[in-house]
Structures are given as structure tokens and as C-alpha cells.
Amino acid sequence: MESREHRAGRLLLIACAISFVCFFGSYMRIPIVPLFATSMGADAAQVGLINSAFMLMAGALSIPSGLVSDRLGRRIPLLGGLLLLAGSSFLLYWSNSPLQMAGVYLLFGIGLSAFSPTLMSYVADVTPPEVLGQAYGWYTMALYGGMTLGPAAGGFLGTALGLRPVFLVSGGLILAMFVVALFLLPATPRAASGAAPHRAILPTLRGLMGNRRLLACLAATMGTCFGFGMFVTFMPLYIRSQGMHSGHVGFVFAAQSLANAVSRLPSGKLSDRVADRSRLVAGGLAVFAVALAAFGLCRSVVPLMGVAALMGMSMGVAFTAVSALIADVVPREQRGLAMGCYNTCVYAGMMLCAAGMGPVIREEGFRTGFFLNGVVGLATLILFVALYRRPVSVVGPSA
């Protein structure tokens, strides 16, 4: 008979493989979609609307999708999300206008909102509490690895095969993971996925919002993703403004991605050994804030790569610990909803930065923009510590 530890390890490995391939396939489209849209006559504003359609749906629906996974179990939203992700890639292949692409990207956002928080909750459901940090280290490393390698693979395939065939490859990879999940990921135990009496979404959400430590984790997530939005959205423009070329953009982003991915597993192991995971979160937030402000002082590619690596490492430490903390501080039957809140904060933080920092940079310059993001990072650290140190109120479902 298979031991509990062996079964947990096997299911974690399958979940990591699904996460890696799905994010790899989904992010293959990142460099292709803007080129494909412009080839059909889209301008920069329309390309932005296509991407915002995905971000809007993924952020808005992550919370209700998490609640659905708590009530119906993990398999239904997980499998449904995989089908939507695969289907959106196939539909992009058949798209003939920017408007059609925007509609397809709405489906992409719905699929990701169903898939991502559900699989994160599944990992917590099947993992023994004493190794939860390591499990999320492996899981987030697989996830971020897919997000990192996917765009590079998409760009290569777009050059080798053309733009449209990339969508078929993407859809095929994700559809294969649907088959893997269908046959190899069993339903989680009933006690972990919906056995408790159901309440309406608003009372359930209000109950979670009374959990100070969960609020601390969500504040840390949104504040950090606000700063990461500054990096993703405006760093290429900053590098070009310093007289560097697009190859240097790749070096800086690669340094951040590599440090972020490599730091995940050791951070997970460390979070299982320390008495208080929140110290790792606080340390990661502090380094992250310093790195953001330091970008404004960099004038060449080597310092930018060094600071980007420091930022990536701080994110690896903070986010791995935050994921484990969320699973620790909420009732098991509400993990899906909590992970939905987490994913909503990820997309909301990045969207707020993209929308809010553009006018600041236009009027005051990049240095001021990076400095202000460092201040936001410091404020996030203070808010996290203040909320987390207060008495905890874990509210479970009422009878």
C-alpha cells in the first residue's frame, strides 16, 4: 500500500508538471499576440486592450473560482480551466481580427482564474503541513519556470514556424495536461474540498477578511506585484532611455527570472525550518523595496542585472513563504477562496502600477518612478508586519 508521504510526493510532482507545461504553453503566446494583432491592423492601444481583457478577467474571477473549488472540489474547476486555456489557444489560431482576439483573451482570463488558484489549493490539500513550504517551493519554481521559458520558446517557434502555428503548439501542450489531470490527479479528500456547510460568497468572504494574517499576506502580495508591474511594464523603456539596446533588456529580465526561479526551492525548505514564516516574508519585502529604489541609480547593464537578480531573489523568498502562510492561516475548506484572493491581488497590483505609474514617469522621469515604488514597497512591509502581528481571527464556516 502506498504511504502517505509517497502519495503526496507523487501528486506534487504531477501538479508541478501540469503547472510548468500549462504556464509554458500559455506564456508562449506572450511575444506572439502583439505581433499577430498588429499584423491584422491593431495599433498599440488595441494591443493593450487585448492584454487588459485577460488581466481583468483573471483578476475579477479568481475569487469566485476559488469559492467554486471549495464547494465542488478541485477537479471540476481545474479540468474546466485547462479546457478553456487550451481552447483559447486554438481559437487564437482561427482569429481574423483584433476584436476576435480580445474576446478569446477574455476566455483565457476565465480559464486562468479557474486553473491557477485551484491547483495551488490542491497542492496544499495533498501536502503534509510539515513540508508545505518545500511543496510550494517546488510548485512555484515549476510555475515560474514555465512563465520564464515560455516566451523564449514562443519567439523561437514564431520565427521558425510563423505566428499562427505557435497557437496550435500552445493549445496542444495544455490539452495534453488536461488528459494528465483527468487520469492522474484524483479528487482531494471530501474534508478538504467542500464537506462543510455552504454559505453565500459575501458572508464567506467577509469571514476571511476578518483574518488579519490572511490580510497581511494579501497586502504583501498586492504591494509586491505593484512593484513587479513597474519592472515588467517600464524597465524596457528605462533601459532604452539609457542608450542600451533590446538585447540588454533580455539580459536584465533573464537575471531577474533566473534568480527568482532558483531561489524558490531553498526558500521553501527554509520556511519549513523556521519557527515563523512571516520573518522570511518581511525580509523578502525589505530587500525588494531596496532593489526597486536602486534601479533608479543604475546607468549600465551590469548594475541593472545585479539589482534585477537581487529583486528576483527577494521575490522568490517572499512569495514562497506567503503561499505557505496562506495555507497555514485559513481553514482547509476555504483555501480555494483564499488562493483566489491571492491571485486577484497579483493581477490587481500589476494593473494598478501599469495604469498609475505611466503619468508619473511621463512628468517626473524614471528615477522618481522607481523611488516611489521603493516607498510603496516599504509601506507594504510596514503594513504586513502591523497586520500579521495582531491577534489572529480565523473564521470558519458556520453551521
Q: Which three cell numbers stand for residue 62?
A: 479568481
Out of 1.20.1630.10, 3.40.50.720, 1.20.1250.20, 3.40.50.1000, the CATH code matching 200-392 is 1.20.1250.20
Burial class of residue 186 (count of CB atoms within 10 Å of its CB; 0-12, 13-18, 19+): exposed
**pLDDT tens digits for range 76-99:** 999 999 999 999 999 999 999 999
On average, the pLDDT of the chain sits at: 85
- Smallest CA-to-CA distance from 264 within 202, 334, 315 is with 315
pLDDT at residue 198 in the model = 52
| Contact indicator for 374, 207 with CB cutoff of 8 Å | no
Residue-range domain boundaries for the chain: 1-189, 200-392
CA atoms within 13 A on the CB side of 246: 0
Phi and psi at residue 235, to the nearest 5°: -60, -45
Q: Which three cell numbers stand for residue 111?
A: 480559464
Least confident of 101-105, 148-152, 174-178, 227-231: 148-152
| DSSP percent split of the chain into helix, strand, coil, nearest 5 | 85, 0, 15
Q: Using 50, 70 and 90 to split pLDDT, how confident is the model at 193?
A: very low
- Output the 3-class SS for 145-201: HHHHHHHHHHHHHHHHHCHHHHHHHHHHHHHHHHHHHHHHCCCCCHHHCCCCCCCCH
Single-letter amino acid code for the residue at 174 = I
User: Alpha-carbon distance 73 to 187, whole Å?
Assistant: 7
Q: Identify each DSSP E strand in the chain by its residue range.
A: none
Least confident of 37-46, 118-127, 190-199: 190-199
Q: Using 50, 70 and 90 to split pLDDT, how confident is the model at 140?
A: confident
Q: Which three cell numbers stand for residue 98?
A: 483584433
Say yes or no: do domains 1-189 and 200-392 share a fold: yes
Mean pLDDT for 369-378 is: 96
Q: How far is CA 358 from the centre of its chain?
A: 22
Q: CB neighbours of 322 closer than 8 A, spacing ≥ 6?
A: 217, 220, 221, 281, 342
Write down the CATH number for the domain with range 1-189.
1.20.1250.20
Question: Is 9 a residue whose pLDDT tops 70?
Answer: yes
Mean pLDDT for 372-382 is: 97
**pLDDT tens digits for range 204-255:** 677 777 889 999 999 999 999 999 888 877 887 788 888 887 667 778 877 8
Q: Using 50, 70 and 90 to split pLDDT, how confident is the model at 48?
A: low
> What percentage of the chain reaches a pLDDT higher than 90?
41
- Smallest CA-to-CA distance from 226 within 336, 111, 381, 114 is with 381
**pLDDT tens digits for range 65-79:** 887 888 888 899 999
User: Alpha-carbon distance 269 to 97, whole Å?
Assistant: 48
Question: Is 196 a residue whose pLDDT tops 70?
Answer: no
Locate cell 514562443: which residue?
154
- Smallest CA-to-CA distance from 144 within 315, 277, 341 is with 315
| Contact indicator for 12, 126 with CB cutoff of 8 Å | yes
